[in-house]
Amino acid sequence: MTMSKQQKSVVVGGGIVGVCCALYLQKEGHQVWLIDPSAPGDSTAKWSCGQMAVSEVIPLSKPGILKRIPGWLMDQSGPLALRPAAVPTILPWFLRFVSNARHSRINTIAHQMATLTREVYPDFAALLDLCPDQKLLGQRPVIEVFDSARGLADERAHLQLREELGFKSEMLDATAIADLEPALAGKFAHGVLFPDWCAVSDTKGFITALIETFIRHGGVRIDAEADTLLESGETANGVRLRDGRSLPADHVVIAAGTGSRRFFAQLGVRVPLTGISGYQALLPSPDVEFRHSVIYADGGFCFTPMTRGLQIGGTIEFAGADAKPNFQRAEIILKKARHLLPQLNVTDREFGVGHRPFLPDTKPIIDRSRRLNNVLMAFGHGQLGLTLGATTGRLIADLASKRPTAQDITPFSAYRFMEGDRV
Lowest pLDDT segment from 69-73, 140-144, 153-157, 230-234: 69-73
> Which one has a higher pLDDT value, 423 or 266?
266
Mean pLDDT of 369-384: 96
Q: What pLDDT is attached to residue 3?
A: 39
What confidence score (pLDDT) does residue 2 get? 42
Q: Looking at 79-93, 176-190, 283-297, which range is the least confident one?
A: 79-93
Mean pLDDT throughout 193-202? 95
- Higher-confidence residue of 277 and 413: namely 413
Strand intervals (E) in 293-374:
294-296, 301-306, 309-318, 350-358, 365-368
Structural domains of the chain, with CATH: 1-57+102-137+199-272+362-423 (3.50.50.60), 58-101+138-198+273-358 (3.30.9.10)
Per-residue pLDDT at 60: 82
pLDDT score of 79? 66
More confident residue, 48 or 256: 256
Report pLDDT for 6. 82
Nearest to 260 by CA among 5, 4, 21: 21
The tens digit of pLDDT for each residue in 298-351 reads 888 999 999 999 999 977 788 776 778 888 888 988 999 999 999 999 999 999
pLDDT at residue 251 is higher than 90: yes
Q: What is the pLDDT of residues 387-408, one digit of tens each?
A: 999 999 999 999 999 999 999 9
In whole angstroms, give the CA distance from residue 108 to residue 150.
26
Question: pLDDT digit string (tens) for 228-237?
Answer: 999 999 999 9
Evaluate if pTM is beyond 0.85. Answer: yes
Contact 30, 5 (CB under 8 A): no
Backbone φ, ψ for residue 50 (5° rounding): 75, 20
Q: Which amino acid type is present at position 286?
A: P
- Whole-number percent of the chain with pLDDT over 70: 93
In whole angstroms, give the CA distance from residue 89 to residue 76.
19
